[in-house]
Amino acid sequence: MSTTFDDLNFDNRLKTGLKNMNYVNTTEVQAKTIPLMIEGNNVICKSFTGSGKTLAFGIPLSDRLLRHKSTGILILGPTRELVVQVRNELVKLNRNTDLRIEAVYGGHGIGAEILALKRKVDVLCATPGRLLDHIRNRNINTKQFDTVILDEADRMLDMGFIDDMKEILNILNPVNTHLFSATLDGSVAKLIDRYIPKYEEIIIAEEIIGKNILEKHVDVKKEDKFQHLLDVVKNAHSKKVLVFVSTKRYADSLTEKLINKGINVASIHGDKSQMYREMALRDFKSGRKQVLIATDVAARGLQIDNVEYVVNYDAAKDADTHKHRIGRTGRMGKIGYAINFISEQDHDRPKVTRKQSIFGRARPDQKHYEIEDEDIMNRYYNQKPVRRERNDFDRERKPFDRNKSFGNRNRRSLNRDSTHRGPQSPDSRGTHRDGLHNEHGPHRDRNHTHNRFHKRDNRKH
């Protein structure tokens, strides 16, 4: 028998917020976690993406703040997208309370965050690096946070945040520390032993990912992938399609090609600005963009509703990444479709995909996407340049030319000096004689230049 939120004992204002979010029944992790955290226990939870863990810790911690059992909550997450998503979810939950919830993360200006932190913050969602920036600049009163949540702890460790996490926990020395992770072994277990000696453990035995996903493998040549993707997008009939690629370069290339085919598409990867990434996700969630091209930055933690198709354009690097990629579809009891393009290069990799389901066999070869060159990327990047963000992979970087860099200034100097009837300075005469600069370069060895012209003037006299 399923548990409803009304069956649990917490603040009615939070229950009203849940009803406005159309949540009635709890998930397994929520039913087990909420009572323990309300009582003040440390909780270690092994749960999978899509299990509802954000509300599992958001509800009890908000309740403890409202009952003045806690002074402040800090939630650490691995990526900007996850931090923003958690913040937005908690804001909806606390719509009828006066709790202030903020987020700090890299990729955008720090000024607005500093202004927001000058007022008391009840719940702060943060990435480790940006949080330490604020702590070192004394923008945050670390004593106000008595509870810390380590969300997606295994991924934070994988991304190299171990030292930042240790420094933050040592500075805050929280009363309660809760950890949510897809795994509880290895470096995660060491972190638990050091910082969470006493806790209640919750293991979600049933894997949620894949429960409602129909998966199909398509053997396809590398040069034919694009045409197969077009077929998937057309057959989706305006429903959301999330496409995963292996590199930022492929993401940009594929986005441009789909735009040229008249498809509403956006892309996200690590080189995109935070504002662009948030806008792309917002357009995809709202349906303004049918297709989202992503690297694995979007594979875990992001909540995007009603994604019917996930396409692995490039195979995942390991089984765990593949699992979290396809976990973007088939959520909340709905049926989803995962389509894996398997090329010759992917056959050399360790097998990471599951057995394909009743969704179908790999379809036989149909018409191919004809290209002029053997390599799709070479063909694409030999075309007209595409406007890209700063520091992108294919921006041409020219060596510094000292003479050329001063050329415009010397030209302006020449025009200015030539309007005067009086004698020109030695430097300006040298500039006039050589067109843009004298033989020693601009502003070099002025004494030598002056002496040379001085002797020539003496000879004239």
Nearest to 118 by CA among 141, 136, 135: 141
Provide φ and ψ at 143, rounded to 5°: -70, -15
Please spell the DSSP secondary structure of 366-423, one letter per residue.
------SSS-HHHHHHTSS-----TT-TT---PPP-HHHHTHHHHHHHHHHHTT--SP
Q: Greatest CA span in the chain, whole angstroms?
A: 112
CA distance linking residue 13 with residue 33, whole number of Å: 19
Nearest to 97 by CA among 123, 69, 74: 123
Sign of the CA dihedral with 190 first, then 196, 202, and 204 last: negative
CA distance linking residue 163 with residue 387, whole number of Å: 37
What is residue 8's predicted lDDT score, i.e. its pLDDT? 93
Q: Are 123 and 72 contacting, i.e. CB atoms less than 8 angstroms apart?
A: yes
Q: Which residue's structure tokens are 């302006």? A: 412
Q: Which residue's structure tokens are 């504002």? A: 275
User: Which DSSP state fits 361?
Assistant: P
Q: Which two tokens stand for residue 25?
A: 């029944």
Q: What is the CA radius of gyration of the chain?
A: 30
What is residue 323's predicted lDDT score, i.e. its pLDDT? 80
Distance of CA 316 to the CA centre of its chain: 17
CA distance linking residue 80 with residue 101, whole number of Å: 15
CA distance linking residue 252 with residue 254, whole number of Å: 6
Neighbours of 162 (CB within 10 A): 15
In the chain the domains, ranked by start, together with CATH numbers, are: 5-203 (3.40.50.300), 213-381 (3.40.50.300)
Distance of CA 294 to the CA centre of its chain: 9
CB-count exposure of residue 432 (10 Å: 0-12, 13-18, 19+): middle
CB-count exposure of residue 361 (10 Å: 0-12, 13-18, 19+): exposed
With H, G, I as helix, E, B as strand and everything else as coil, classify residue 4: strand
| pLDDT averaged over 10-residue windows placed end to end, the chain, 461 residues | 86 95 91 95 85 92 96 94 92 95 90 92 95 94 94 90 94 95 88 93 71 84 91 90 90 92 89 82 89 78 79 86 81 81 69 48 33 31 37 41 44 41 44 40 45 47 43
Q: Which two tokens stand for residue 81?
A: 């997208």
Nearest to 216 by CA among 202, 206, 231, 203: 231
Q: Are 408 and 429 contacting, i.e. CB atoms less than 8 angstroms apart?
A: no
